[in-house]
Amino acid sequence: MAATPGPLTRLSDAVREGRLSATALVSESLRRLESTSATLNVATDLSPDEALEAASRIDQGGRRAGVLLGAPLLIKDLEDWRGHPTRKGSLALGSVAPATSDGVTPGRLRNAGALAVGKSTLPEFAIEGFTANLTTGVTRNPWNRDYSPGGSSGGSGAALSAGLALIATATDGGGSVRIPASLCGLVGLKPTNGMIGRWPAPDWIDYSTDGPLATSSDDLRLLYDVMIGPVAGDPTTPTASMVRAMGRRDDLPLIVFAAERTSPLGPLPAGVASAFHEAVSAFSELFSMRVIWKEPDSFFDGGEPDLDWFTVCAAEHVASLGREWVVRHMHEFHVATQEFLGLGLEIEIDAYLEARRRRYLYVRQMDELLGQNGLLLTPSVASEGWLADGRLTSSDVVAGLPPHVYSTAMQNVTGNPAISVPMGSVSTGLPFGMQITAPHYRDHRLLDIAERLESAYPWPRYAPGYESLESVLLD
């Protein structure tokens, strides 16, 4: 069954067919971004003149092609946008020069007709699961403004959930697509590592990838199709012909596993466990498949990928920024950044390489579990949410989030594709996302499954009190 066209598809089609002006679409997006700046704080570097000039060229008979024609786009401030600085949420990069070219994904989206209106907020250097930094302040979740939209693509997630833009880019090195997708009620895909070519090398070399976030499964598929493809310099990316061969709609799985966790980091909070078990039951009923439950300690022998993630990523981030530069600027960093990079400064080469080598073991064990036709169901987030400034409770101090709230790093370590699909809510008023992990290169299977889940169990596409751009511009 084909998915109902999403708002991105419908609005871009309306611009292309002349039923809607690109100027009206961009103007409404900018109005909403500006009007919510004090309450949600999702964007920085808004560029109304540049965006409206590009929209006017479309309306005056310029380019009419592109599947994303006229779509207002926010670019995560980890990614380059030609002519604009990439500050990565850091005071230490406050005077960085403007980028001379677009990053891979922003360039592909803009080439497909999207119009950049600004940048979305993130935690400093994209290292946290909450979106707050010393440059732009705290970003809030439109479902409950006391809470965080997650991170590191939190500004993008909040913007989409509040109907402020049609596209907002996201990256995922440890869950930064799937965490905001879960906490903001969106569908978000971390593709197989390498499916979206990476250049330059990410701070977390093998673990990071770009990935699409959307309000609907149809829009997610459209964005994925625009974003995928090789790039010169990425040694892991499939060739263009391989990518085309993977573009067909996939078959259904033959075996499904479920687990509350894939590492023994303690029991899930009661509300998360309840929402997860309800989601697994709904999945099993929809697909008429028996689900095999697994215990957290049954996945990996010889190490814990969730903990090795911290070792590898902290060390690689220090190396990416430069050890001397990190030490010199440490006093300018957010306290969570100081924790993370401080850990990286202390990691010795043997410990780093041992964690890197264990990655092969983890990949093998996941390959053997899933084969070519398996799926794994887990929560996308092992928490009912955290406060907007990153504290778990109001009595805590602001610091880095602890490992036990996460449920996403394993897939970055192993490279498996994983998708977060909205499946209910928790007591904080935030949505609950179920994470579905597939074998390598079965990305389209996950897109197909999200489509079927949305058809059977449709989710609210926007947070309460917010509305889609199309509701104002097309109705």
Would you put residue 239 in left (φ > 0), alpha (ψ -120 to 50) or beta? beta
**pTM score, whole prediction:** 0.97
Fold assignment, 22-41+58-79+89-473: Amidase signature (AS) enzymes (3.90.1300)
Three-state SS for 202-232 is: CCCCCCCEEECEECCHHHHHHHHHHHCECCC
pLDDT-flagged residues of the chain (< 70) = 1-2, 247-250, 475
Tell me if 306 sits within 8 A of 404, measured CB to CB.
Answer: no
The confidence score (pLDDT) of residue 248 equals 60
The confidence score (pLDDT) of residue 254 equals 84
Using a 10 angstrom Cβ sphere, with 0-12 exposed, 13-18 middle and 19 or more buried, the burial of residue 399 is: middle
Residue ranges covered by each domain of the chain: 22-41+58-79+89-473
pLDDT in tens, 448-463: 999 999 999 999 999 9
CA-to-CA dists, residue 323 to 161, 329, 397, angstroms: 38, 10, 27
d(CA 440, CA 254): 15
pLDDT in tens, 288-319: 999 999 999 999 999 999 999 999 999 999 99
Token pair, residue 402, equals: 């602890």
